Chains A and B, each alone.
Chain A
Amino acid sequence: MKYTIPKDTLQGMLAKVQGFTERKSTLPILSHVLMETSDDKLRLKATDLHTSIQVISSCEIKEQGACAISAKSLYDVVRELPDGKIDIWVEDHTRAHIHTENNYIKMNVMDPEEYPVIDFSLAQEGFHVPVHIMKPMVERTMFSVPSQAEGETKYTLNGALLTATQEKKGSYLEMVTTDSRRLSVARYEIDQPVEMGEGIIIPRKGLQEIRRLMDNREENASILLTRESIFFVSEDTRATVRLIEGKFPDYRSVVNLETYPTCTRVNAHELLSVLKVCVAMVSDISNCVRFSFKKDRTLIFANNPDQGEVDTEIAADHNGEDIDINFNPRYVMECLVYIDGEAHIYLKGPQGPCMITDGEKTDCKWVIMPMRV
């Protein structure tokens, strides 16, 4: 392998892949980046076995080839080199030579055959989803993926289920997460149908990475979905995450609006600020707020013998029986944040689930299980 590349370009590429290497793994090669050429392009690949990334750039290729080289050392070296062109060549899989006008550096490399295989070729049947749809979908559901500390043993719950549906009205993407105490569903319309079978489950870590990549506002960025994988794609970058296999629990019945006979409509912002006060009052041990849904008003009561109590009433539009029900206030707050104006709170009874929506504005639903008193 032999090529010439401007320092800035290589440094930029290395900076992008740095975060995806893994230095603490039992596989030493994961701290390396895979450097390979194809035609007139240089590709850098890195993976921590959770997220894999590839950055491409055109450069002057003199001899095709590949090698695996320490990502951090190479980055540290390149950063210190003077601006201008860098010549790089690798002799028989053992040594890389990095050459500028006055510098001559040799670095050990590893056999590219030992590098984990990552397929970045984009499938033809894939479907591009714009970031402005994917991003809110992730944000509105991610918080109810169980944290690692919870040690959820049902492993399919440790991620978000992403499915595609096709209805008469149009085609939809749907993302669902649950920690079995609450469940979040975000559904967004897309402009053409996509075939995803039973859907894919994106693990918590992968979801975070995809969100971070979307936050970087790269040019022409989009998400590409296929039956079996999810890619982040931009001008020069491709990234993919390793998925969870298995069956996500059946959640359809709990989000069926028709099974909720009672509904209260209340200003989301107002309810949110009352709950913020409650949270300041309740402790970790007794993390419980009572909601009394009545005709024309909702009463909120929180009580902590060590601190004091909150007893507040807000105006509401209530249909159905009066219901007293207890919730962990944080669960309610986490979804109210995403509701502008009126929140619709659907109920079955004091021991049954509660579903919160923003009316008809978007197609997001949050189901929360109450606390038994």
Chain B
Amino acid sequence: MNKIFALVDCNNFYVSCERVFNPSLAERPVVVLSNNDGCIIARSNEAKNLGIRMGHPLFQCRDLVERHRIAVFSSNFSLYGDMSHRVMDTLARFTPEMEVYSIDEAFLSLEGVCSDPEDYARRISRTVKQWVGIPVAIGIGPSKTLAKAAARAAKKHPAHDGVFDITSCREETLSGIEVDDIWGVGRRYARFLRGHGIVSALDLARAPDAWVKKHLTIEGLRTVMELRGISCMPIDSAPAPKKAIMCSRSFGRKVYSLEELQEAASAYTSKAAEKLRRQGSAASFIQVLLIEFPFNHGFPKCAVSSLKIPVATAYTPELSGYAKTLIERIYRPGPAYRKVGVLLSGIVPRGQVQMNLFHPSREGPKELALMNTLDRINTRWGSGTIGYASSGFSRPWWMRQEKRSARFTTSWAELPLVKAS
């Protein structure tokens, strides 16, 4: 039986999230900025039409912003994360097999769940819009790569009204897509392919197997097979636990003191530890990095320090303790620091931690229970509701987010108020 995949892709996801809670933005151009309000990382269609590019620094388009009354937002990842969960929860009702591919994309297997995929997809789209308020585009195809290509077409051509099935017009559609835009073809490969006369996705689909395998490796061949409608990549419904967890942020201002750096390291460690516990893992290796502000436009200097943890752990105080020791090891007074990062690796399942003869584990039943409680409270009442004092209270080094919208869905204090009289 032929496989049927759908790719559900939220339109301008960050912008759409902002619009859900601020209907007045509906027709206005909207942009969202990166951490620290540096560059533009999301644009509404209206903003795209004004010629604002992805990754454009905000200060370079101040003029446009003022002239067209563009609404500018700092990124509000707690809001986007929560909205993403809601979208995914809704999608999960439509299929038993689904792969969350990114914050705003998911592959669904439509095999055996419906007779008319296109009709079914329109129902999915309507439901998401109605329940969550986010508009989505859906592409349908016999392989993941084709579904992805179809979703692109669905977004691009208004005639499709957000849903497009590529199955019956594969060749025709592929001939209109450039190789650069194919999932799995990097920009470097695209240049190489063009050099060999392969310009459209259809050209690639028709390339001889042996040639593809030789020049693009087995991965490339897989993409080509997928373009021909032969599915090579199954839905990956249980993503493997991450092999390493990194948490790093740039500071909102220059930071000089050891205490502040340690506070930040402690805060990021506790974030990383939370992620670690969420995926049911423990870490046996910790690394911190410390990045200075570049001096005289040179390369920024970076210091790294790491240690092996005797008994793998996910216990926040223990990990923060290591992080602080490591920061102290590499700290030099003097330079201004821009960024601290914490990397946890040597990931093992939390239920399979090898014990040590000479170092008793610091994560006993009591500590496990404490972490569970902490995580439950923070899940329920919003991230950061409770934490360790070592991570700081006022956090003057925290990143700049001057134009962040309220965390409507994850913070009690910021719930939208409705006045009824």
Contacts and interface: CB of A to CB of B under 8 A. Distances in A.
B363 to A, nearest CB: 8
The range of chain A's interface size is 20 to 34
A371 B352 contact: yes
B349 interface: yes
Interface stretch (B61-69, B229-237, B289-297, B353-361): B353-361
B356 A369 contact: yes
B357 A371 contact: no
Contacts of B225: none
A288 B357 contact: no
A230 to B, nearest CB: 25
Contact of A180 (B349, B353, B359, B361): B359
Interface in A159-205: 178, 180-183
A372 B353 contact: yes
A239 interface: no
Q: Is the interface of A mostly helix, strand, loop or mixed?
A: loop
A181 B355 contact: yes
A47 interface: no
Interface string A358-373: 0000000001011111
A369 B348 CA distance: 16
Interface in B341-387: 348-349, 351-359, 361
A320 to B, nearest CB: 20
A137 B228 CA distance: 64
Interface in A256-308: 285-288
A288 B352 contact: yes
A287 B358 contact: no
A180 B356 contact: yes
Nearest to B238: A305
B377 to A, nearest CB: 24
A181 B356 contact: yes
A281 B279 CA distance: 23
Contacts of A180: 310, 356-359
A353 B352 contact: no
A323 interface: no
Nearest to B356: A180
Contacts of B355: 181, 351, 353, 369-372
B357 A369 contact: yes
Nearest to B347: A285
Contacts of A70: none
A249 interface: yes
Contact of B354 (A351, A353, A367, A371): A371
Nearest to A249: B358
B352 A326 contact: yes
Interface residues of B, number: 14
A178 B357 CA distance: 9
Contacts of A326: 352
B347 to A, nearest CB: 8
A182 B361 CA distance: 15
Contacts, number: 47
A351 to B, nearest CB: 7
A367 B310 CA distance: 18
A244 interface: no
Given A285-B349, A287-B352, A372 B361 contact: yes
Contacts of B351: 288, 372-373
Contacts of A181: 354-357
Contacts of B353: 371-372
Nearest to B241: A285
Nearest to B363: A372
A179 B184 CA distance: 44
A351 B358 CA distance: 14
A36 to B, nearest CB: 46
Contact of B357 (A153, A286, A287, A367): A367
A357 interface: no
Nearest to B355: A369
Nearest to B365: A351
A153 B354 CA distance: 18
A37 interface: no
Interface in A317-337: 326, 328
A131 interface: no
A310 interface: no
A183 B357 CA distance: 8
A254 interface: yes
A171 to B, nearest CB: 28
Interface string B395-411: 00000000000000000
Contacts of A251: 357
A246 to B, nearest CB: 15
Contacts of B310: 180
Contacts of A153: 308
Nearest to B310: A180
A219 B102 CA distance: 70
B138 to A, nearest CB: 30
A370 B361 CA distance: 12
B354 A328 contact: yes
Nearest to B358: A180
- Pick the most buried of A251, A254, A371, A372: most chain B CB atoms within 10 A of its CB: A372
Contacts of A353: 355, 357
Nearest to A305: B238
B368 to A, nearest CB: 9
Contacts of B308: 151, 153
A367 B358 CA distance: 12
Given A180-B310, A372-B361, A285 B356 contact: no
Contacts of A371: 352-355
B361 to A, nearest CB: 6
- Pick the most buried of B308, B310, B352, B359: most chain A CB atoms within 10 A of its CB: B352
Contacts of A286: 349, 352
A373 B356 contact: no
A371 B310 CA distance: 13
- Pick the most buried of A153, A326, A351, A371: most chain B CB atoms within 10 A of its CB: A371
A370 B351 CA distance: 11
Nearest to B353: A372
Nearest to B359: A180
A162 B339 CA distance: 50
A371 B282 CA distance: 12
A369 B354 contact: yes
Nearest to A152: B308
Top 3 nearest A-B pairs (CB, nearest first) are A369-B355, A288-B352, A372-B353
Interface of A: 151, 153, 178, 180-183, 249, 251, 254, 285-288, 326, 328, 351, 353, 367, 369-373
28 contacts: A151-B308, A153-B308, A178-B357, A180-B310, A180-B356, A180-B357, A180-B358, A181-B356, A182-B357, A183-B357, A251-B357, A254-B357, A285-B348, A285-B349, A286-B352, A287-B352, A288-B351, A288-B352, A328-B354, A351-B355, A353-B355, A367-B357, A369-B355, A371-B353, A372-B351, A372-B352, A372-B355, A373-B352
Given A353-B355, A371-B355, 19 more contacts: A153-B308, A178-B357, A180-B357, A180-B358, A180-B359, A181-B355, A181-B356, A183-B357, A285-B349, A286-B349, A288-B351, A351-B355, A353-B357, A367-B357, A369-B355, A369-B356, A371-B354, A372-B351, A372-B355
